[in-house]
Each structure stands twice: as C-alpha cells, then as structure tokens.
Amino acid sequence: MTRAIAKPAANKPSDDPTFFTKALDSVYAIVNSRFLRRRFVFYLVAAFAAITLNFLIPRLMPGDPVQLLFARFQGRLDPRAFEAIKAQFGFVEGPLLEQYLLYLRSIVTLDFGPSIMGFPIPVTQVIFNSLRWTLMLMGIASVMSYVIGTLLGVIAAWRRGNRIDTTLLPIASVLGAFPYFFIALLAVYVLGFQYDIFPTSHAYDTGISQDWSSPEYLWSVVYHMLLPLITIVITSLGGPLLGMRNNMIGVLSQDYIVMAEAKGLTERRIMLLYAARNAVLPSLTAFAMSFGFLVGGSILVEIVFSYPGMGYTLLLAINARDYPVMQGVFLMITAVVLLANFLVDVSYVLLDPRAR
C-alpha cells in the first residue's frame, strides 16, 4: 500500500529523494575531499608566488626600478598623481619589507590606483572592462575546442588505422605546429580584408549603443566574436584530440571492452559509455592546463583581432609603459587560470570517486 502511494511522488524529479541525496553527496564530497583541500592550499601558494613575483620583477631588474618604470611619465602626469601611483606599488623610500607590505595591501583591497594610459580611470575598472570579453571568448573557445577535439579523438581511436584516423592525425599535428597568431592573421586578411565577410577589429559594432537586451547589439557581439573563436578552436583542437586518442587506445585494450563486445552491446554504447567514459578523466587535467595556455595565447589572438580583452589591454599597456595596468592584467589572468584549474579539480572529484 505505502509503496503505491509513494511511487507517483518519486516520479517527480523535483522532490526525487535519490536526486536530492546525490546532490547532497556531491556537496559533501567537495567539502570533505582531502585532495581538494590540498589543491586549494596549492593554488593559494601559487597565487602568492605570482603576487610576490610581480613585486620582485621590477626590483630585480638592473638599474633603478623607480627610474626605469616611472621616468617616462614625469612631465606627462600631475606630480601628485605620479607620487600616488608610486606609493600604490610600494615604490616608497624605506626598507623592502615595508614596500612589500604596502604592495600587499593594495592587492588585498583590489586598489591598484589610477591607470596611466587612461588617467584617471582606475586600473581595476580598466581590467574588469576587458575581463568579460576575454572570459566570454576564451570560455566558449576552450570548451568548444575541448569538446570537439575529444569527440574527434574518440572517433579516431575507435577507427584506428581507418581513413578518418589517418586524415585526422596529420591535420591535428599540423595545427599544433602552426603559430596561433599566424592563422589569425591569415583569417583576418582573407575573410576580413579580401572578402569582407567578417569584421576585422573590435568586439561589437561601435555605431550602436551598448545594450545587452537589444538583439541588434547581441548579434554584433556574436558576429565580432565568430572569427577569433573559429581560429582559436581550430588551432587548439589538436591537443585534446591527440590526448584523447592516446587515452582511448590504452582503454580499448582493457578486458572490460572485450567483455562488452562479447555481450553484444551496440558499438556506439561501447565506444561512448565504456571506452570514452574511462578515457576522459586524464584528459580533464589536460583541459585545465590547456586553458592556461589558451588564456596566455589569447593575448596574441586578441591583438590580431584588436579584440578588447585582457591581452589587447596588456599590449596597449606595454606600448604605453603603463606598469600599473600591466601588473593588474598579469595578476588577473593568473587569478582566472588558477580559478579555472580549481573548478576542474572540483569536477574531477565529482566524476571520479577515487579522488575523494
């Protein structure tokens, strides 16, 4: 009797007890994982190392760092603003430790002072303006290249030695050897300038108002993103493809694959649920690493497309010798990469019970 009453309730996913316990289980696993706690501490140490490097690099350079960095601005800037910028970065008279503490305070409070190239716009605002473009472009690009590359890797390994495999492999290898920005240059030249199919710069049509709710603006954002997106995805496909192919080949010789074949399961089921599912875990860490490379490499792509993300901002800052912005962009890119790595670790714990 009780079962008959309970059954319809259990069919509704909203209060499905198993779904709920599963979700709770996952949260519990994340909070309680020793692996994740260790990774978290590691990322904190890495962030600290990046912050300290950022502090040390200009001071380790030969010559007087203050002069090297700021001599160019004397006369161009209000002396008081100049002093404020120097103080922000701990370039004050006094022992190194005091400079360091001052610098740490400006990092913790996210107060990087005014930028030089866009004075008096604060550095933080310059960074956050460009951050969303990079996040959008690189987020979509890295997920797309990972998913497409992995799927192609699965197929290549499954059909090893077949036509698909023997064409995919050299293509993937060639793509890995191409310098990123050269493909981008070619794309801009052919599709942008010669055939005028795609816009050649900027992230949206500057002629229309920046309104995220208007379809016209949204379309112009998508339209401007397409070409950089395609070039990034194409040039970064090779890594996940080859990685997944190698993992798959290792998995395919396992006994449980033979067992699945012996049971007469469909080919697709064996390929995706038996082989690919077990082969994908190692390549997940590769994804985290390639995200770092992508965000780093995106600098060049953004420069070619004049796409107003972090990389383009970094170039502008370098050309203007705007050290505050350069430091800020470097720290922000590091923060994004560390965070992405941590998120991948979390998903690893969720997917692989052994990591708990």
Closest CB to other proteins among residues 1, 60: 60
Closest CB to other proteins among residues 57, 147: 57
DSSP 310-347: HHHHHHHHHHTT-HHHHHHHHHHHHHHHHHHHHHHHHH
Hey, which residues does 74 pair with through a beta bridge?
77
- Asked if residue 84 binds other proteins (CB under 8 A), the reply is no
Closest CB to other proteins among residues 114, 297: 297
Gap between the Cα atoms of 2 and 47, Å rounded: 56
Could you give the angle at the alpha carbon of 297 between the alpha carbons of 293 and 299, nearest 5°?
140
CA distances from 195 to 56, 182, 188, 191, 224 (A): 48, 18, 10, 5, 15
Instruction: Enter the DSSP assignment of 15.
Output: G
Considering the complex, what minimum distance in angstroms separates the CB of residue 308 from other proteins?
16
Closest CB to other proteins among residues 83, 165: 165
Radius of gyration of the chain (CA): 25
- Asked if residue 202 binds other proteins (CB under 8 A), the reply is no
Residues 320-349 that bind other proteins (CB under 8 A): 321, 326-327, 329-330, 333-334, 337-338, 341
Instruction: Enter the DSSP assignment of 194.
Output: I
Q: Which of 153, 199, 297, 324 binds other proteins (CB under 8 A)?
A: 297
Gap between the Cα atoms of 244 and 40, Å rounded: 27
Considering the complex, what minimum distance in angstroms separates the CB of residue 230 from other proteins?
17
- Asked if residue 42 binds other proteins (CB under 8 A), the reply is yes
Closest CB to other proteins among residues 29, 169: 169
Map residues 120-159 to x or -, x wherever contact with other proteins holds by CB under 8 A: ----------------------------------------
Does residue 258 come out as left (phi exceeding 0), alpha (psi in the -120 to 50 range) or beta? alpha
Considering the complex, what minimum distance in angstroms separates the CB of residue 86 from other proteins?
16
Considering the complex, what minimum distance in angstroms separates the CB of residue 257 from other proteins?
14
Gap between the Cα atoms of 200 and 19, Å rounded: 48
- Asked if residue 290 binds other proteins (CB under 8 A), the reply is no
Nearest to 61 by CA among 323, 299, 313: 323
Residues 6+ positions from 87 with CB-CB distance below 8 Å: 102
Nearest to 144 by CA among 264, 265, 214, 228: 228
Closest CB to other proteins among residues 54, 145: 54
- Asked if residue 86 binds other proteins (CB under 8 A), the reply is no
Gap between the Cα atoms of 155 and 150, Å rounded: 9
Considering the complex, what minimum distance in angstroms separates the CB of residue 162 from other proteins?
9
Considering the complex, what minimum distance in angstroms separates the CB of residue 99 from other proteins?
17
**Contacts with other proteins: how many residues (CB under 8 A)?**
62
Q: Which of 23, 101, 208, 289 binds other proteins (CB under 8 A)?
A: 289
Map residues 156-195 to x or -, x wherever contact with other proteins holds by CB under 8 A: ----xx---xx--x---xx-xxxxxxx--xx-xx--xxx-
Does residue 188 come out as left (phi exceeding 0), alpha (psi in the -120 to 50 range) or beta? alpha
Give the binding site for other proteins (CB under 8 A). Answer: 42-43, 45-46, 49-50, 53-54, 57-58, 61, 68-69, 160-161, 165-166, 169, 173-174, 176-182, 185-186, 188-189, 192-194, 200, 246, 249, 253, 289, 292-293, 295-297, 299-300, 303-304, 314-315, 318-319, 321, 326-327, 329-330, 333-334, 337-338, 341
